[in-house]
């Protein structure tokens, strides 16, 4: 594919709103290489397109073998690329444009519309138009499946669940009873939506099981990675807000409320009743204790243990969680503890303190 064809497919204008060129063909129309693949900047070869995001990777411009790059709106970087004979695209967010370029070269596997002969579908289920239901999928009584839904082999959908339009359920995921999944969602392999929450009442005679009669609701555009679990509560709803993205191996306990446009990385664990606002980022292995409230726009860095409420916009780190600024100062001190301890011993010896 020619570089110019990528520009056409992305529908990029030659000039941006600041009257600066959006790509190198504006001034170098003959510099139109053949692009065969996409690659990261560290390994890009001739015939590849890659991207540079910020100063951290700018040094790669001098040595990359890529034939084309997506660059920030930085005239100096663009001049250097042109001098090396590298075609370029300009974008305020190079990583975002790179994601769009990936879609030019790659589209996920999309099976043709059909219902496999081995699929088991209860007669009371409602099936929308243009669906794919793969081999050995099981759809139980009262289930509602929207239009253009893709259900891969060995998916199990329990009674009364509903699946919105264009949602994709990958192999071996399980949707428990009465769960509600919105439009344009993606549920990856091994994930369980709406299983019963961890609800037991302690008594003198032992644990008494509390039936989990509630619902799990995923709003439109939610994506859940492999082998994650979102439990239903005893009463009410466990709810995941619109466009939230959940990684592999995430546990969301019963009754949690997660807002819109959140990102939960691998091995995040939310205990029961946690409330997460909109646009929150929880990095890998963050743990949140039950009933905790995390405000809009908050960020928890990797391995943070959150035992108290987090204010909107706050960045927290460590376990127990503290302000990220305090955590950085404490980490700097921690690295000097051996010398500090030695100094303390010398002071005690000098002062004759045992």
pLDDT in tens, 23-33: 999 999 999 99
Q: Is residue 30 part of a domain?
A: yes
Evaluate the CA torsion angle 101, 105, 106, 110 in order and state its sign.
positive
The catalytic residue positions are 254
Q: Is residue 165 part of a domain?
A: no
How many domains is the chain built from?
1
pLDDT value, residue 334: 87
Q: Higher confidence at residue 152 or residue 345?
A: 152
In 3D, which of 232, 155, 235, 233 has the Cα closest to residue 195? 232
Read off the pLDDT of residues 38-80 as tens digits, 9 standing for 90 and up.
999 999 999 999 999 877 788 899 999 999 999 998 899 999 9
Burial class of 39 by CB neighbour count within 10 A (0 to 12, 13 to 18, 19+) = middle
Evaluate the CA torsion angle 193, 194, 195, 201 in order and state its sign.
positive
Supply 296's token pair.
């809009």
pLDDT value, residue 100: 96
Q: With 0.75 as the threshold, say if the pTM is over it.
A: yes
Question: Residue 184's pLDDT band (boundaries 50, 70, 90)?
Answer: very high
Q: Is residue 151 part of a domain?
A: no
- Residue 4 DSSP SS3: helix
The answer to whether residues 145 and 128 touch, using CB atoms and an 8 Å cutoff, is yes
- DSSP code of residue 310: B
- Provide the angle, in degrees to the nearest 10, between the axes of the packed helices 94-105 and 3-10: 100
Read off the pLDDT of residues 76-118 as tens digits, 9 standing for 90 and up.
999 999 999 999 999 999 999 999 999 999 988 889 999 999 9
CA dist 23 and 86 (Å) reads 11
Q: Is residue 20 part of a domain?
A: yes
Q: Looking at residue 22, which CATH number applies to its domain? A: 3.40.1390.10
Read off the pLDDT of residues 123-133 as tens digits, 9 standing for 90 and up.
999 999 999 99
Angle subtended at Cα 190 by Cα 184 and Cα 192, rounded to the nearest 5 degrees: 70
CA dist 168 and 148 (Å) reads 9
Average pLDDT of span 284-309? 97
In 3D, which of 143, 108, 115 has the Cα closest to residue 130? 115
Provide the domain limits for residue 83.
3-105
Q: Is residue 10 part of a domain?
A: yes
Q: Is residue 74 part of a domain?
A: yes
């Amino acid at each position: 594919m020619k570089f110019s064809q990528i520009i056409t497919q992305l529908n990029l204008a030659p000039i941006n709103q600041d009257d600066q060129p959006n790509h190198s063909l504006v001034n170098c129309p003959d510099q139109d290489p053949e692009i065969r693949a996409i690659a990261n900047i560290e390994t890009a070869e001739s015939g590849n397109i890659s991207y540079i995001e910020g100063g951290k990777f700018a040094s790669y411009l001098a040595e990359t073998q890529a034939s084309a790059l997506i660059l920030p709106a930085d005239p100096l970087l663009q001049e250097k690329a042109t001098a090396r004979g590298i075609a370029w695209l300009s974008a305020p967010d190079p990583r975002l444009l790179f994601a769009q370029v990936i879609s030019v070269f790659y589209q996920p596997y999309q099976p043709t519309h059909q219902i496999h002969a081995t699929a088991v579908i209860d007669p009371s289920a409602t099936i929308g138009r243009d669906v794919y239901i793969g081999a050995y999928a099981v759809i139980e009584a009262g289930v509602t499946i929207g239009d253009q839904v893709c259900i891969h082999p060995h998916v199990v959908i329990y009674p009364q669940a509903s699946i919105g339009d264009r949602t994709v359920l990958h192999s071996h995921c399980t949707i428990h009873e009465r769960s509600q999944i919105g439009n344009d969602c993606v549920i990856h392999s091994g994930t369980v939506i709406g299983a019963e929450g961890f609800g037991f009442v302690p008594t003198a005679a032992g644990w008494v099981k509390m039936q989990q009669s509630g619902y799990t609701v995923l709003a439109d555009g939610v994506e859940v990675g492999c082998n994650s679990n979102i439990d239903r509560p005893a009463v009410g709803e466990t709810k995941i807000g619109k466009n939230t993205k959940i990684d592999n191996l995430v546990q969301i306990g019963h009754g949690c409320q997660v807002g819109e446009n959140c990102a939960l990385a691998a091995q995040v664990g939310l205990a029961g009743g946690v409330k997460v606002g909109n646009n929150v980022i929880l990095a890998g292995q963050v743990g949140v204790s039950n009933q905790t409230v995390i405000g809009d726009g908050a960020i928890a860095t990797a391995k943070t243990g959150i035992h108290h409420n987090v204010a909107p916009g706050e960045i927290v780190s460590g376990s127990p969680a503290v302000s990220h600024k305090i955590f950085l100062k404490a980490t700097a001190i921690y690295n000097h503890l051996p010398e500090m301890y030695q100094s303390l011993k010398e002071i005690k010896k000098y002062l004759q303190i045992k």
